[in-house]
Structure 1
Amino acid sequence: MKIKVLTLNCWGVPVPFVCKNRKERFLAIGTEVGKSSYDIVAFQEVWHKGDFEILKRNIGDTLPYSHYFYSGSIGSGLCLFSKHPILETLYHRFDPNGYCHKIQHGDWFGGKGLGLAKIDVSGTIVHLYITHIHAEYNRERDEYRAHRICQAFSSSQFIKYTSNGAHVSFLCGDLNFEPVDLGYKMICCNGTLKDAWLEKQSTQSEDKEGNTSDCPSNSYSGNNKRDKYPHGKRIDYILYKAGEGISVEIEDCSLTLGRVPGKPFSYSDHEAVEATITVDKKEQKENKQEDQDLSALLQESVSIVDSGLQSTRTNSRFFIAFSVLCLALAYFISVIHIPYPLDYFVTFFKLLLILSMGFGISQFLIMIRSEVHGLEAGRLDMKNLLQNLK
């Protein structure tokens, strides 16, 4: 049996002037996918419900089954379309997941996680996992590194313990990790997943490295990104694992959906990845990763999370000092005499100080505590697994 899969980060941020040509691009994506021969399509960054409806209207005749994974205050951005019946769905939400006060990044508001859909492909049970891990933003100084490692480990654990009942499992999405990164290695090793791009028998891509982001051919790659990533980088994947008694071969894995025909722009700021997979129900011996490889990855991951916990303590002290300073300033300007009409401005400033103090207290008592618990949970899970490998 052959199964054809597509994954694409659609870049659907619903902010005018930030996300260019969004409506036109979603219409073009829906039109192109709607006339394709895919069995399963996984999309990321479909943040606006109206964009999901555009995709449904144009894809629904070809891929009649669909599901959107709702999460957070703006939705997870994850959805899928299938030619075959979707039997069950489940969403595993990540914790920790960035900072709410980093509004310019916005990952926290999406409630990011890992979606699972159980699909019946003519008697073959497929588990489709779809995710969009927290973005890196700054490779040289990644303030979210501990969060992202926890998300990678959590994903690998979730897949490991929920994929047993499937004939074949796929993990599709924008992992925001390059193949050399610890997070990618953790997902592949602990989740016992293989990379379709590396295992392919053939490809129709001109880019033989399979780079999907910041590509020079993409209309949305600015000159600064071309200077930093002259050839782009590979962060979008189709990973897979075979169930017991199943043989899986990757006939082809290629990049697709580059420029929109007749338009001066691309379908997205990412390239899409498609794969044609052959699934046979016959015994095949798998070469499992050595425990010592996973042990080394876990040890490095625990070290990174420990550093992240140290940062939370620094942040906690900062917000305590910030709140005390706001309170002291508010008290000081309350007891001194301010002549008219400056007293109106002082009243406004005092209100601003009180609100700032409330923000600092909420960060200390709620947000940082939540971050610490999320990091601690991931750290303990890693250490438990590491202990059993020794």
Structure 2
Amino acid sequence: MTQEDMNSPSEIRVFSLNCWGLKFLAKYRHERLSEIGNQIAAISPPPEIVGLQECWTQQDYLAIRENTEHILPYGKFYHSGIFGGGLAILSKWPIEESSMWRYPLNGRPTAFFRGDWFVGKGVACARIRFGKRKKDVAEVFCTHLHAPYEAEPNDSYICHRTAQAWEIAKLMRGAAERGHLVIGLGDFNMIPLSLAHRIIEAHTPCRDVWRLFHPDSSIGAAKDPVEKKRGRPMPTAEHNIRENGATCDSALNTWRWNESHRKRLEKGEDVVIEPVVEDPRAKRLDYIFFSSGEHSPAAATKSNGRIQPQADTWALQDVKVGMTMRHPELKCSLSDHFSVEATLVRSPDPVDYSRPSSSSVDFDSDARSTTSLLPPAIYDEILAMITKYTAREYRQRRLRLTHFGAQLALTIACLIGVWWVPHNFVAFILMLVSSLGLAAGVIDGLIGGLFVGSELRALREFDWEIRNARAKAVEEKSTGDMKTGVAADDKLNGE
């Protein structure tokens, strides 16, 4: 073993948390995020790579940096959109390169009350050098996908979130093809084995770390139809955290409590919820994906103890939900999400986890295939989604441009009418109405002509890529069927 090999770390601890740091909206924002920094620094052993989401202000980022700089001396706060993307990456090792990849499909400016478009959501990318060898590189991708505002499949933004999963999958696949350790983390706003989840696992060698250790974990909240079909008993809050990896809507998170409990907290009472309470709403929205180069990840046996660096592949040693503690003074949860924490180790004996365990959720075998492609039927589902959303956008553009034309005609009519009205106050009303109407019409015209046009072009690109992937999937399936047929013929001939 060379000196460079000895200087290369044998394990990497990864941490991801949605901080809920919305400026002006998130309660006790600065106090909570400062304490998040304290708690990250208190983790033992400390994390080496940290990804944060909804860390919207540089003030909060700097507060976290100040509290963690002794263990995470390198960091990057990512700037994006009008209000910022809320993403940050902290590291024990130098960040050699960094970029912010904006998602082409990313919400709508008309939904200003939701804000996804205004923050410019995307992928914070960091290339981290963790050793002296040329291959000691981790490519980290931190993201926050578009939020679901309605239940699937009625979510009007499902096309956006699916396209975003496709984009980050391309980035992670490219990093894996370069032979680097790939770490994708963040708030993906998706449930396990959803369409977006399957896209990431099918189109990259990366795997969801939680399902590597907990392949039979829940695929949604206990109250969701998809989870009810499994016929599992109602989970407790403790079970959801320990076995299902629930990071959001937990009964133990104070920001999900009912109003009476929250009022008691605000009065200074230390309200305690027992971990055995039923927890029907908790679900897993936060993830860590990883792969060791182009190969599927391995899983190390916990009883092996510390694994010495003997190979260039990485394995998953441990994964857990963290940051479940409360603020020491405010007694509230540190965020409306809990963290995901994983430990990766160098593995001398990689185990191929490219196929899910037989105890996985009983989807059809095609849907659970982890070749580099999904079944053609899944691509057909995505194409139907694109077609439906594209038709919606064409209607939107037509309506908005029609509104602009109508307002322009109304403004001209009002200006002409000013010449004929007998009183000044009537002329003033006509000018006011025409001016306000024209302003609204111009905004609609700009949205219909520019934004919707841009979105339609992004949809065409997405459509082409899905059709291209589908053609490859059909070809792969045909080749596989032919090989199966030949093998069957050979067996019959042999008999």
2:74 aligned residue: 65
Q: Provide the aligned length of Structure 1 versus Structure 2.
A: 385
Other-structure match for 2:316:
250
Cα deviation, 1:296-317, whole Å, max 9, x if unaligned, reads 3322222211111111111011
Report what 2:47 is aligned to: 38
Match of 2:282 among 212, 232, 238: 232
Q: 1:65·1:83 contact (CA, 8 Å) conserved in 2?
A: yes
1:137 partnered with 2:149: yes
TM-score (norm 1): 0.91
Q: Does 1:185 align with 2:198?
A: yes
1:279-318 equivalence runs, <5 A: 279-280=346-347, 285=352, 287=354, 289-290=370-371, 293-318=374-399
Q: Is contact 1:170–1:240 with CA below 8 Å preserved after alignment?
A: yes
Q: Which runs of structure 2 are paired with 1:1-390 in the superposition (5 Å)?
A: 1-14=10-23, 16=24, 18-36=25-43, 37-123=46-132, 124-139=136-151, 141-200=154-213, 206=239, 207=241, 208-223=243-258, 230-243=280-293, 244=295, 246-258=312-324, 259-280=326-347, 285=352, 287=354, 289-290=370-371, 293-336=374-417, 337=421, 339-389=423-473, 390=475
1:246 to partner: Cα distance: 4.4
1:342 is displaced (CA, Å) by 4.2
Give yes or no for contact 1:186–1:294 (8 Å, CA) kept in 2. Answer: no
What is the TM-score with the length of structure 2 in the denominator? Answer: 0.73
> Alpha-carbon deviation of 1:283?
5.5
Q: Is the 8 A contact 2:100 2:122 kept in 1?
A: yes
* Aligned-pair Cα RMSD in Å: 2.5
Tell me, which stretches of 5 or more residues in structure 1 are unaligned? none
Runs of 5+ in structure 2 lacking a partner?
A: 1-9, 218-237, 260-278, 296-310, 356-369, 476-495
Distance 2:350 2:187 in 1: 31
Give 1:285 shift. Answer: 4.4
**C-alpha distance 70-166 of structure 1, shift in aligned 2 (>3 A):** farther
| Whole-Å separation in 1 of the counterparts to 2:328 and 2:320 | 19
Q: Give the secondary-structure state (helix, strand or coil) at the position aligned to 1:90.
A: strand
Aligned AA for 2:147?
A: A
AA of the residue aligned to 2:384: S
Q: 1:125 to 1:282 in 2, by over 3 A?
A: farther
Return the structure number with greater strand share: 1
Identity over aligned pairs, percent = 26
Instruction: Write out per-residue CA displacement over residues 265-319 of structure 1, whole angstroms, 9 at most, x where no aligned residue.
Output: 1111111111122222666546362356353332222221111111111101110
Relative contact order, CA 8 A, sep 6+: which one is greater? 1
CA-to-aligned-CA distance 1:67-103 (integer Å, 9 cap, x gap): 1222212222111111122222233221011111211
The answer as to whether partners of 2:98 and 2:126 remain within 8 angstroms in 1 is yes
User: Which amino acid in structure 2 is aligned with residue 20 of structure 1?
Assistant: K
Cα separation, partners in 2 of 1:23 and 1:355, compared to 1, 3 Å: same
The structure-2 alpha-carbon separation of the partners of 1:122 and 1:35, relative to structure 1 and needing over 3 Å to count, comes to: farther
CA contact (8 A) 2:99 2:124 kept: yes
